[in-house]
Chain A
Amino acid sequence: AQTVTQSQPEMSVQEAETVTLSCTYDTSENNYYLFWYKQPPSRQMILVIRQEAYKQQNATENRFSVNFQKAAKSFSLKISDSQLGDTAMYFCAFIKIFTGNQFYFGTGTSLTVIP
């Protein structure tokens, strides 16, 4: 079975500062994808960043980057130069490659950017 754990229910950061959200997962699979999704108050699920497990290089998307540690099964999200619009729930998610058909989501981290 696959599990995804987000141990920080709530976090806050000053505008323009950097914040890191933690995620760990448990799986016996070797091939999988990891994602971070953002859910603002509108409740729309918005893809932030994606990482293929077979790639050693950490994914980067503008102000968002990940620290992927496959051996430790850790997948943290770093948000640089935080903006007010980054205030949202952030969910870490996992899906198996080839045999996967469902996302496994963590319970989320509520991030508040303080002006």
Chain B
Amino acid sequence: NAGVMQNPRHLVRRRGQEARLRCSPMKGHSHVYWYRQLPEEGLKFMVYLQKENIIDESGMPKERFSAEFPKEGPSILRIQQVVRGDSAAYFCASSPQSTDEQYFGPGTRLTVT
């Protein structure tokens, strides 16, 4: 059973561009979570999704950030008009049930120049 997959592993964007981060959960997992890790900090929750639904987006910045988990395909975290402060590692996790252990992907390191 393949683990949680994220791509790309590294992404470089210029200020003002869009960043798209992809997450494929583990097989059989229908719950996906996105976390952001700023340098020297722990992971901070951003959003929790199930297929075609956003369940909790309380950690998501109000502007420029959006997430989706379509019926088919990976979950996407989109950041529009990136700024330098968006530079961070973005981790995706998945679980079979909402309160089960979450399995983390390897992360996408976003660098905004």
Residues of A near any B CB (own CB < 8 A): 4, 33, 35, 37, 42-45, 47, 50, 91, 95-108
Q: Are A101 and B48 in contact (CB under 8 A)?
A: yes
Closest to B43 in A: A105
Q: Give chain A residues whose Cβ lies under 8 Å from the Cβ of B109.
A: 43
Which of B69-77, B79-87, B100-108 lies on the face that meets chain A?
A: B100-108
Complexed CA–CA distance, A35 and B42 (Å): 14
Total interface residues on B, CB under 8 Å, equals 24
Can you list 22 pairs linking A and B with CB atoms under 8 Å apart? A35-B101, A43-B89, A43-B107, A43-B109, A45-B43, A45-B91, A45-B104, A47-B103, A50-B101, A91-B42, A95-B102, A96-B99, A99-B99, A101-B48, A101-B55, A101-B98, A102-B59, A103-B43, A103-B102, A105-B35, A105-B43, A106-B42
Q: Give chain B residues whose Cβ lies under 8 Å from the Cβ of A47.
A: 101, 103
A-B CB pair tally, cutoff 8 Å: 59
Complexed CA–CA distance, A35 and B103 (Å): 12
Complexed CA–CA distance, A43 and B44 (Å): 15
For the complex formed, measure the closest distance between the CB of B102 and the CB atoms of chain A, giving whole angstroms: 6
For the complex formed, measure the closest distance between the CB of A36 and the CB atoms of chain B, giving whole angstroms: 12
Q: Give chain B residues whose Cβ lies under 8 Å from the Cβ of A91.
A: 42-43
Complexed CA–CA distance, A98 and B100 (Å): 9
Q: Give chain B residues whose Cβ lies under 8 Å from the Cβ of A97.
A: 99
4 closest residue pairs by CB, A with B: A45-B104, A105-B42, A102-B45, A101-B48
